[in-house]
Amino acid sequence: MNISVATYGSHSALQILKGAKDEGLRAVLLCPRSRRRLYERFRLADELILVENVEDLLREDVQRNLTSMSSILVPHGTIISDVDIKRFVKDFKVPIFGNRELLVWESDRELKEMLLREAGIEVPRAFSSPDEVDCPVIVKLPGAEGGRGYFVASGRDDLIKKLRKMGVRMNRGLYIQEYVIGVTVYPHFFYSPLREEVELLGVDRRYETNVDSLGRIPASDQLNLNVQPTYEVVGNIPLVLRESMLEKFFDIAERFVEATKKLVSPGMIGPFCIEAICRAPDDIVVFEFSARIVAGTNLFINGSPYSYLLYGEGMSMGRRIAKEIRLACETSELEKIVT
């Protein structure tokens, strides 16, 4: 069997392809026609399958093609956001690296919260009505998508005033969450079912427009400008964590893995991210998780301080995935890492 690694041309595809090649596996790119030029610049794909969009991965000929190349698909954020993920995990018959069921859980707010609760991880409080609010909140308006349609309110009265001003009468569809004041950190973990171990491979913070540009506008000008914050990810900035905080994050990561094993058999496989706000070094709130590779790992295509400690040079998350696939092939344990 001559396994190949396939992914869709977006999000973190470059490092997934590069990682596959560095581990001696064939790299297959499901490339949106409009991005052919982009991916050809990097000369990383051994095979290029042109498609129109993510939906096309469900096309029978595409799946047949992948199967004929013994491909394992590495899913990433675009696959989750751009298709009906429930249908995808049901109808996509090619093996997926990771637990496909978890992708559904990741994209459903209620399942997501259930998983974090099961793991005993502190999350921001949610409020079902503006009247209940007793702290600063961030509010997601109905239909908000991809970082737009949010606003901050300092408390109940401010929230009610702002909703009225926006002409929002009904509370239906509003998502009101505690606004935790603190810095964000996004540690990138990898759970190896072969080694039964959680690894930390990097940390970043997101670089979001326009919210990360506000700090450069003097407060007095901000008041005049009346800017509405948006949270659209444009890129990522590398971080390291205070070493004495690592333990706490590993603890959260392991409890998360345990919870997935309990609720979403066979549990976590491969990369995940615990998206957290630090009120203080020992006061960490998790507002989100990703149960697959995150784009912040693109910072470390040439290795991170943490991956260097574990693997020496050049171990990206993409390569770590390919390495797990290669090891599983060698020991005939592929069934442990694909679903």
Q: Which residues from 273-312 bind a copy of itself, rule CB under 8 A?
A: 277-281, 295, 298-310
Shortest distance (Å) from residue 203 CB to a copy of itself: 7
Kindly calculate the radius of gyration of the chain based on its CA atoms and give it in whole angstroms.
Answer: 21
Residue from 199, 257, 292, 337 touching a copy of itself (CB under 8 A): that is: 199
Rounded distance, CA 278 to CA 265, Å?
30
Toward a copy of itself, which CB reaches closer, 119 or 264? 119
Cα separation, 245 vs 243, in Å, equals 5
For a copy of itself, the closer of residues 68 and 220 by Cβ is 220
Residue closer to a copy of itself by CB (options 126, 183) is 183
Q: Does 221 bind a copy of itself (CB under 8 A)?
A: yes
Question: Could you tell me which residues come within 8 angstroms of residue 110 by beta carbon, excluding any fewer than 6 positions away?
Answer: none
Tell the burial category of 210 from Cβ atoms under 10 Å away from its Cβ (0-12, 13-18, 19+). middle
Residue indicated by tokens 């939906």: 55
Among 112, 125, 156, 205, contact with a copy of itself (rule: CB under 8 A): 205
Q: How far is the CB of 265 from a copy of itself (least distance, A)?
A: 25
Distance from C-alpha of 100 to C-alpha of 105, rounded to nearest angstrom: 9
Contact call for residues 285 and 123 (beta carbons, < 8 A): yes
Q: 95 or 206: whose CB is closer to a copy of itself?
A: 206
- Between 110 and 196, whose beta carbon lies closer to a copy of itself? 196
Nearer to a copy of itself, 118 or 212 (CB): 212
Say which DSSP state 195 is in: T
In the complex, the smallest distance separating the C-beta of residue 9 from a copy of itself, rounded to whole angstroms, is: 9
Q: What is the dihedral of CA 253, 258, 262, 263, to 10 degrees?
A: 0
Q: Does position 208 bind a copy of itself by CB under 8 A?
A: yes
Instruction: Examine residue 203 and tell whether it contacts a copy of itself (CB under 8 A).
Output: yes
Residues 97-116 that bind a copy of itself (CB under 8 A): none
Q: Residue 78 or residue 260: which is nearer to a copy of itself going by CB?
A: 78
Contacts of 34 (CB under 8 A, 6+ apart): none
Q: Does residue 227 sit in helix, strand or coil?
A: coil
The nearer residue to a copy of itself, 128 or 228, going by C-beta atoms, is: 228
Total residues interacting with a copy of itself, rule: CB under 8 A: 94
Nearest to 49 by CA among 68, 28, 71, 27: 28
Closest by CA to 298, choosing from 188, 183, 147, 184, is 188
Residue 110 token pair: 């209620």
| Interface pattern 160-179 for a copy of itself (x via CB under 8 A) | --------------------
**What DSSP element (H or E) covers 105?**
helix 100-106
User: Running DSSP on this structure, what letter comes out for residue 187?
Assistant: E
Assigned token pair, 30: 């499901």
Nearer to a copy of itself, 166 or 223 (CB): 223
Letters for 227-266 (x = contact with a copy of itself by CB under 8 A, - = none) are: xxxx-xxxxxxxxxxxxxxxx--x----------------
Site string for a copy of itself, 39-78 (x = CB under 8 A): --xx-x---------------------------------x
**Residues 6 or more apart in contact with residue 192 via CB below 8 angstroms:** 198, 199, 270, 324
Q: Which of 118, 122, 212, 258 binds a copy of itself (CB under 8 A)?
A: 212
First to last CA, the chain: 18
Q: How far is the CB of 5 from a copy of itself (least distance, A)?
A: 16
| Nearest distance from C-beta of residue 227 to a copy of itself, angstroms | 6
